[in-house]
Amino acid sequence: RSSVRVLCGSNWSLVLQGQWMLEFYAPWCPACQQIEATWESFAKESEQLGITVGKVDVTQEPGLSGRFFVTTLPTIYHANDGVFRRYRGSRTLEDLQGYILERKWEAVEPVAGWKSPSSLMMHGMAGLFHFSGWIRQIHNYLTGTLGVHVWISYAIFILATLLIGLFLGL
């Protein structure tokens, strides 16, 4: 049984309380696969370190990866009572433990308030990521289920974008 807490859109706010290390990964990512055993070992030591270790599958949680503005994989964040810092150190077990034990995170600049995952702006970013996933589902339905040609699907989205723009402009 894994000691790593799996976070999703409904329980991500747990990281706003206490001290966390959070990994954003994708199952297909080779670098993420390399760090998986180390992350599990780190999680097993988490109780002695006084932290909670979590992970987010970006393929399942696009809104959450948008909220944290994840652009590379794996991405690791340290959170302490809602203050977020991006971890950019080595991904060895010793370095991860040292980051916590030696409080190296205190020397790292926190994520700016407006870019914080709990900010209104990043809430909107999460919404955009959800919206893009919804558009992708519609495209897949049109092309896969209904058999519409890809270019016709694109034309439908272009037309919808223009019509919505015209409507909002009025």
Could you please report the per-residue DSSP string of 8-59?
A: -TTTGGGGGSSEEEEEEE-TT-HHHHHHHHHHHHHHHTHHHHT-EEEEEETT
Question: Which helix H or strand E contains 85, and what residues bound it?
Answer: strand 83-87
Question: Which helix H or strand E contains 5, and what residues bound it?
Answer: strand 5-6
Across the 170 residues of the chain, what is the mean pLDDT of every consecutive 10-residue run?
86 91 96 96 92 94 84 94 92 95 92 73 76 87 93 93 92
- The predicted-structure confidence for 18-42, as pLDDT tens digits, reads as follows 999 999 999 999 999 999 999 999 9
Angle, CA 119 vertex, CA 113 and CA 122 arms, to 5°: 110
| Structural domains of the chain ordered from first start | 5-115 (3.40.30.10)
What is the average pLDDT score of the chain? 90
Q: In this predicted structure, what is the pLDDT of residue 75?
A: 95
Task: Report the C-alpha gap between 134 and 46 in whole angstroms.
Answer: 36
3-state secondary structure of 92: coil
- The predicted-structure confidence for 51-63, as pLDDT tens digits, reads as follows 999 999 999 988 8
Q: Is the previous residue joined to 74 through a cis bond, with omega within 30 degrees of 0?
A: yes
Q: In this predicted structure, what is the pLDDT of residue 56?
A: 95
If one counts every other C-beta atom within 10 angstroms of the C-beta of residue 52, the result is 21
Q: In this predicted structure, what is the pLDDT of residue 115?
A: 73
Q: State the helix-helix crossing angle for 30-44 and 93-101, rounded to 10 degrees.
A: 50
Nearest to 25 by CA among 82, 53, 65: 65
Is residue 78 within 8 Å of residue 85, measured between CB atoms?
Answer: yes
Is residue 63 within 8 Å of residue 127, measured between CB atoms?
Answer: yes
Which residues are tagged catalytic? 29, 32
Backbone angles phi, psi at 38, to 5 degrees: -65, -40
Q: In this predicted structure, what is the pLDDT of residue 18?
A: 93
